[in-house]
Amino acid sequence: MIVNMSDNATPEQIEHVIQRIREAGFQPHITRGTERTIVAAVGSGGRRHEIEALCVAPGVDTVVPIAQPFKLVSRQTRPSPSVVEVCGIQIGGPDVVVIAGPCSVESREQLLETAHGVKKAGATMLRGGAYKPRTSPYEFQGLGIEALKILREAREQTGLPVVTEVMSTEDVDLICEYADMLQVGARNMQNYALLRRLATLQKPILLKRGPSATVKEWLLAAEYLLAGGNRNVVLCERGIKTFETATRNTMDLASIALAKELSHLPVIADPSHGTGKQSLIGAVSRAAIAVGADGIIVEVHPCPERAFSDGPQSLDIPQFERVMRGLSDPLRRVVAPLVSSA
Amino acid sequence: MIVNMSDNATPEQIEHVIQRIREAGFQPHITRGTERTIVAAVGSGGRRHEIEALCVAPGVDTVVPIAQPFKLVSRQTRPSPSVVEVCGIQIGGPDVVVIAGPCSVESREQLLETAHGVKKAGATMLRGGAYKPRTSPYEFQGLGIEALKILREAREQTGLPVVTEVMSTEDVDLICEYADMLQVGARNMQNYALLRRLATLQKPILLKRGPSATVKEWLLAAEYLLAGGNRNVVLCERGIKTFETATRNTMDLASIALAKELSHLPVIADPSHGTGKQSLIGAVSRAAIAVGADGIIVEVHPCPERAFSDGPQSLDIPQFERVMRGLSDPLRRVVAPLVSSA
Amino acid sequence: MIVNMSDNATPEQIEHVIQRIREAGFQPHITRGTERTIVAAVGSGGRRHEIEALCVAPGVDTVVPIAQPFKLVSRQTRPSPSVVEVCGIQIGGPDVVVIAGPCSVESREQLLETAHGVKKAGATMLRGGAYKPRTSPYEFQGLGIEALKILREAREQTGLPVVTEVMSTEDVDLICEYADMLQVGARNMQNYALLRRLATLQKPILLKRGPSATVKEWLLAAEYLLAGGNRNVVLCERGIKTFETATRNTMDLASIALAKELSHLPVIADPSHGTGKQSLIGAVSRAAIAVGADGIIVEVHPCPERAFSDGPQSLDIPQFERVMRGLSDPLRRVVAPLVSSA
Amino acid sequence: MIVNMSDNATPEQIEHVIQRIREAGFQPHITRGTERTIVAAVGSGGRRHEIEALCVAPGVDTVVPIAQPFKLVSRQTRPSPSVVEVCGIQIGGPDVVVIAGPCSVESREQLLETAHGVKKAGATMLRGGAYKPRTSPYEFQGLGIEALKILREAREQTGLPVVTEVMSTEDVDLICEYADMLQVGARNMQNYALLRRLATLQKPILLKRGPSATVKEWLLAAEYLLAGGNRNVVLCERGIKTFETATRNTMDLASIALAKELSHLPVIADPSHGTGKQSLIGAVSRAAIAVGADGIIVEVHPCPERAFSDGPQSLDIPQFERVMRGLSDPLRRVVAPLVSSA
């Protein structure tokens, strides 16, 4: 880290910073410029927060971090991509996975119809909510254990591994019995009690990016899981909150390429939450794969206009089939340049 | 709610919407315009989500909600302001409360020195973190129960009631033994498992606004608490995440006036997290009170540059005393107009 | 538009609204619900702003617009896509166009080397800034007319049509002499004096989305051009400003699909400004085409680390050649589902 | 500036960076850490953009700027606050100024009634739009020169100096004849052609912050004016664009304190655009003054529900009188702490 002194810092103030850097376990290295002095804190074993807090010391202008704060998720720690396996499905390998299913499990009939439908269309895994994080307490909160049992039945009938959301440490054991992969929802990305609990398992985790999380914060949330011992982590970009309201969120597709550049973890995309709009899901799914995503997760419902939740962004089964077919279309051709004198 | 048909909607599509509105438990009311038809869903007992999901029905352009989704927190339910009492301190009454203390409890000495210092300067309550939500797993995570014991001692010595953050349902019982008010942190504002648990208590709750929560979402999080039976809720604006990085967050002071217009709950402000910058806290505290906040919560540390967390935004005790004195300064005088012909 | 009365609106207040709707040239249509009354303003010839302003009339809760405010750019006005032709290059047709070149024209050698390089790699058009909008007055402001002459020479040598930015009404005539397409930069998207001037031309316009413009505001900026008589408009998504700072802007690729759904105008993507990061440009270019963009515009410089502007996001010529080859790679294959009992 | 090398940078790559720093006119200063090397570019006369562009050189991780990019607007250049005088009214002095008037000049009667009303209530200056930047080409665009004449008449009758917006370089001379202060609107904050023209005048300029401008970008826009020779610049915070839609913009009041900390220029606040909501303007005006603003600018209309533009955020004259009276109310009293053992 670099401590950037003010223009008018006194020799005593500079000396104080040098002293504090030593106390924090780093070596100070001083650069005296024509206008200002900077002091680098060199070394790897010191207490970073003590350097950060120097920004309030007299004569200090700013403190600038240099190194990335994450370690185990970093490409520098593990240059080759990780592959996370869920019941034989490889996420992060050469092929892309497609996870599909309803926002919420509403009934046995609804889920089984969807499961068979998405499997026939080519989905690789099944999603479905049993415990639902809902903005309002008056909205449908999920069927709970009843939903978990229906999900298990769907897996038995279709062979599709199941991913479902876990919202609380208290539900972890129960959900582990029924599901093949646990999802940490966007609103819980920084629920550290939950992350620490999931870090003690080997069950694969689908970690959604929080609606206001930077890529750095998202990777640090994953770092909690790896630091605690669970390396089976798949990241999921699902859109961030911005001023644009024409879509439910703003799908940050470039963050997928960036996360894969910074980290070895697999990354998938959720165009359903990312757009909130049925009509955009096909195009954004294609774009996600083009940008390098290792898979997509899509909401499908037999009758979206009767869905208990997320109807506006759910595909019906024929629409999902069309999206799946669209994923194999080639990109549009680049036009050859004309040679003319204009 | 209003279902806004497309310009080219067919009579059959309009009839389908009318039928679905009836099935959802509402009365349809049709307005035929020159270009398009709108159908209002009238009534109060129906299933709102079924109307929302009609946006994907054929011939429908958009579905527009009309009524606010929150009830118990609304001024329409209770026109007069609520007052929440914490050990005799009234939040939401005629006077403003000042909650002060360190980000984290680091040691007995650090906390007691701070507690006595802020009390002498005029603080009304003591804050201090025992369980810390930290972006990185490698940062200080709090002293846990040890910190709770120190907070209790500080309360015994100073008489200041204590507020501390609860991060997990599993810690609720323990923290209730030691603290007078429980804080739900910004990152847990939509941790519904936690909200549902806290709703079963009568202990006062300090509910921070999430960094990407709209005022509506914030009030709906409070609605979880009231709907579950806990009416002792104080809202806290602590800045939202925006493109501006010169401050840690963007303090949305107008949201305090708005929340108090929409809801009867008390609202306080956290200028420490809202700005992340020691030098701005005095000015923003004054502005918070001017805009109508019922109190402020401020981070104070005996030596901010040695703080384990949030040093850059912590005041030392003399700085806090100056901020407190500044809170009683009058506003600047409005200049009298000149009468000249320019 | 719909005027949504408060729960406690009086009959006199409702009558006042009805009266005002008539005065504004609309027909009022009343729906009395169990809790509240709404009044629709029906018709097409009235003064919309008078209905919008009713939100401050006594007893009114909100005023909700129903119809989209743009007309000539809308798909409802013209269902089939527009094609804009620039010297024989079709933008919006079956193929995608690739516009490449340096951020700024820095010298004759720099531009000609780039122009020949990008043409050889397959670019369709040449970009290059003569007048540069720079955040700081101390940064390079462009070579002006000297740059325009160099651009013309490059076009003569390579046959590539030229697009360059116009920043002021005063430069319009001069730039029209030299360039084949005029770019309105992101910061000028709502420079209405400039838009009104460009609307009087037939020269093709590349209209960049403003960094904080919604899709609706972007389409309304285009509406200025069409309403003034210039239908040769190409939209360009170049990233929006969000809390994420790991990329220069947040590329809103879904907005490309949305803009093409709402409007008949061609839409291209600018991954250079959208990401600000050399290493992400190939992936984001592929994604832009996958999501439906009609082209891309990319910054290329013979030696990015010596560029006068935008070096960090500029590709060198071999990198551009690799990006071009990547545009024809197929999407990754969707994995076939396993049939197992897990 | 600091060039932060990658962990695996080779000696040749480091040498290349050192060489380039010298070529750009700086002195290189090397710090070799345990994990990585950083190279500072020391000196003040070099070409900064060449250092910035080194982020794409092989072996370079990031380039980190250290010094602030603005000069003439900085407190370091001029430690004491600037006072800008408009016809004898001092902006930036001990008292706060209140600028009031309609969004648009709609008629002689409307403006004169407003001017006399706001003057009686205590306003210091008159605002009124003659040329209006409107999102849609179908909205009222202003009365132009007719409005300027009416504004002049109002000034003659009331003695209130007049501020009005200039949208284009072509209108500058005309507006200068009629107005005492020229406003650069938020959407034109980075219209550099306009800024450069206004920099050649001595007329006071009111420079609104752009809806997505950081404080740094805002100060750099002001730097254009000072660098060109016009030191009579007043900054105006008017809200930024965020995800929150309950208010028209998000009023960033802390930015006022920050701008005054970084710069010597006066700063005023525009609560009308900042909130878009009549009911919040009184509270936010008070907060703006409490945070340190040198004045406020408020929209007032004799009948907001009939306003041609910005009706929802305009006060009528009695409401404005109440807001003015509220500006002299003292802050709420801080409650004295209870001494109890809880």
Q: Which residues are within 8 A (CB) of B17 and not within 5 positions of it... i.e. 6 or more apart? A: B3, B5, B28, B39, B54, B57, B59, B60
Q: pLDDT digit string (tens) for B46-67?
A: 888 889 889 999 999 999 888 8
At residue B41, what are phi and psi to the nearest 5 degrees? -100, 110
* Pairwise CA distance, residues C155 & C178, whole Å: 10
Q: How far is CA B243 from CA B50, B127, D181, D215, in A?
A: 36, 29, 30, 11
* Start-to-end C-alpha separation, chain C: 54
Question: By three-state DSSP, how is residue D108 classified?
Answer: helix
Quickly count: other Cβ atoms within 10 Å of residue A268's Cβ.
25
- The CATH class that applies to domain C84-326 reads alpha beta
* Pairwise CA distance, residues D130 & B198, whole Å: 56
Output the pLDDT for position B128: 97
At residue C321, what are phi and psi to the nearest 5 degrees? -60, -40
Q: Name the residue facing A242 among D33, D76, D243 (closest C-beta).
A: D243
DSSP characters over C170-232: GGHHHHHHH-SEEEEPGGGTT-HHHHHHHTT--S-EEEEPPTT--HHHHHHHHHHHHHTT---
What radius of gyration do chain C's Cα atoms show?
Answer: 24
Give which of A140, A118, A135 is closest to A127, Cα–Cα. Answer: A118
Output the pLDDT for position B337: 53
Confidence of residue C8 (pLDDT cuts 50, 70, 90): confident
Q: Name the DSSP class of D179.
A: -
pLDDT(A339) > 60: no
Comparison of pLDDT for B127 and C65, the residue scoring more: B127
User: Within 13 A of C258's CA, how many CA atoms are on the CB side?
Assistant: 23
Quickly count: other Cβ atoms within 10 Å of residue A6's Cβ.
16
Output the pLDDT for position C336: 57
pLDDT (average), residues A127-151: 94
* Pairwise CA distance, residues D132 & D141, whole Å: 5
Cβ distance D314 to C56 less than 8 Å, yes or no, reads yes
Confidence of residue B334 (pLDDT cuts 50, 70, 90): confident
* Pairwise CA distance, residues A252 & C243, whole Å: 12
- For B:197-216, CB contacts with A below 8 A are 210-212
D125-164: b (≥16 Cβ within 10 Å) or e: bbbbbbbbbbbbbbbbbbbeeebbebbbebbeebbbbbbb
Cβ distance D254 to B243 less than 8 Å, yes or no, reads no
The residue in chain A having the minimum alpha-carbon distance to the alpha carbon of residue D41 is A33
Nearest Cα of chain A lies from the Cα of B310 at a distance, in angstroms, of: 7
Cβ distance C255 to A275 less than 8 Å, yes or no, reads no
At residue C241, what are phi and psi to the nearest 5 degrees? -90, 125
- The alpha carbon dihedral of B115, B121, B125, B128 has a sign of negative
pLDDT(C159) > 90: yes
- Chain D interface disruption, residue of A26, A27, A66, most D CBs within 10 A: A66
Nearest Cα of chain B lies from the Cα of D289 at a distance, in angstroms, of: 7
**Residue D36: its chain A contacts at CB < 8 A?**
66-67
Mean pLDDT (chain B, rounded): 93
Q: How far is CA A91 from CA A84, A282, B269, C103, in A?
A: 5, 21, 44, 39
Confidence of residue C34 (pLDDT cuts 50, 70, 90): confident
Question: How many residues does the structure list for chain B?
Answer: 342
Residue D144 has which token pair?
Answer: 């132009």
Cβ distance A42 to D34 less than 8 Å, yes or no, reads yes
Say if CB C283 and CB A260 are below 8 A apart.
no
**Residue A9: its chain D contacts at CB < 8 A?**
none
The reply to whether the predicted model has a pTM over 0.90 is: yes
Give which of A147, A64, A99 is closest to A323, Cα–Cα. Answer: A99
Confidence of residue C215 (pLDDT cuts 50, 70, 90): very high
Q: Name the residue facing A31 among D4, D31, D32 (closest C-beta).
A: D31
| Element containing residue A27 per DSSP (H, E) | strand A27-32
Output the pLDDT for position C340: 39
For chain B, the chains sharing at least 3 beta-carbon pairs closer than 8 angstroms are A, C, D
Confidence of residue C328 (pLDDT cuts 50, 70, 90): confident
Q: How far is CA B205 from CA B101, B267, C312, D154, in A?
A: 18, 12, 48, 54
Amino acid sitting at position D65: P
Cβ distance D56 to C220 less than 8 Å, yes or no, reads no
Question: By three-state DSSP, how is residue B92 classified?
Answer: coil
pLDDT(B288) > 70: yes
Burial of C62: CB neighbours in 10 Å, binned 0-12, 13-18, 19+: middle
Nearest Cα of chain C lies from the Cα of B239 at a distance, in angstroms, of: 13
- For C:312-331, CB contacts with D below 8 A are 312, 314
- Chain D interface disruption, residue of A31, A74, A242, most D CBs within 10 A: A31
Q: pLDDT digit string (tens) for A19-30?
A: 999 999 999 999
pLDDT (average), residues C61-81: 90
Output the pLDDT for position A8: 87
Residue D254 has which token pair?
Answer: 């802390």
Q: Which residues are within 8 A (CB) of A207 and not within 5 positions of it... i.e. 6 or more apart? A: A184, A189, A218, A221, A222, A225, A233, A234, A235, A236
The residue in chain B having the minimum alpha-carbon distance to the alpha carbon of residue C212 is B243
Output the pLDDT for position D66: 82
Cβ distance A2 to D38 less than 8 Å, yes or no, reads yes
Cβ distance D133 to C228 less than 8 Å, yes or no, reads no
Instruction: pLDDT tens for chain D, 342 residues: list them.
Output: 899 998 889 999 999 999 999 999 999 999 887 778 989 998 877 888 889 889 999 999 999 888 888 899 999 899 999 999 999 999 999 999 999 999 999 999 999 999 999 999 999 999 999 999 999 998 889 999 999 999 999 999 999 999 999 999 999 999 999 999 999 999 999 999 999 999 999 999 999 999 999 999 999 999 999 999 999 999 999 999 999 999 999 999 999 999 999 999 999 999 999 999 999 999 999 999 999 999 999 999 999 999 999 999 999 999 999 999 999 888 888 865 544 333
Give which of D227, B111, B301, C280 is closest to A53, Cα–Cα. Answer: B301
Say if CB C279 and CB A262 are below 8 A apart.
no
Mean pLDDT (chain A, rounded): 93
**Residue A250: its chain D contacts at CB < 8 A?**
none
For chain A, the chains sharing at least 3 beta-carbon pairs closer than 8 angstroms are B, C, D
Chain A touched by C168 (CB under 8 Å): no
Q: How far is CA C214 from CA A146, B201, C143, D241, in A?
A: 42, 43, 32, 10
Domain boundary assignment for chain D: 2-64, 84-326
* Pairwise CA distance, residues A192 & A224, whole Å: 8
What torsion do the CA atoms of D154, D157, D163, D167 make, to the nearest 10 degrees?
Answer: 30
What torsion do the CA atoms of A254, A257, A263, A265 make, to the nearest 10 degrees?
Answer: 110
Nearest Cα of chain C lies from the Cα of B20 at a distance, in angstroms, of: 18
pLDDT(A341) > 60: no
Report the range of poorest mean pLDDT among A32-36, B184-188, D127-131. Answer: A32-36
Chain B touched by A224 (CB under 8 Å): yes
Given the cut 0.90, state whether the ipTM is greater than it: yes
* Pairwise CA distance, residues B279 & B262, whole Å: 32
What secondary structure, in 3-state letters, does B268-284 show? Answer: EECHHHHHCCHHHHHHH
Residue D31 has which token pair?
Answer: 């710090």
Q: pLDDT digit string (tens) for C253-266?
A: 999 999 999 999 99
* Pairwise CA distance, residues C236 & B204, whole Å: 51
**Residue C247: its chain D contacts at CB < 8 A?**
none
Please report how the helices D281-291 and D253-262 are oriented relative to each other, as an axis angle in degrees rounded to 10.
20
Pick the CATH number of D2-64 from 3.30.70.1140, 3.40.50.620, 3.30.930.10, 3.90.950.10: 3.30.70.1140
Output the pLDDT for position A338: 43
Say if CB A105 and CB A131 are below 8 A apart.
no
* Pairwise CA distance, residues D61 & C276, whole Å: 14
DSSP characters over D80-104: SPP-EEETTEEESSSSBEEEEE-SB
Domain B2-64 identical in fold to domain B84-326:
no
- Chain C interface disruption, residue of D305, D309, D316, D317, most C CBs within 10 A: D305
Chain B touched by A308 (CB under 8 Å): yes
Question: By three-state DSSP, how is residue A143 classified?
Answer: coil
Confidence of residue B335 (pLDDT cuts 50, 70, 90): low
Say if CB C4 and CB B67 are below 8 A apart.
no
pLDDT (average), residues B118-128: 97
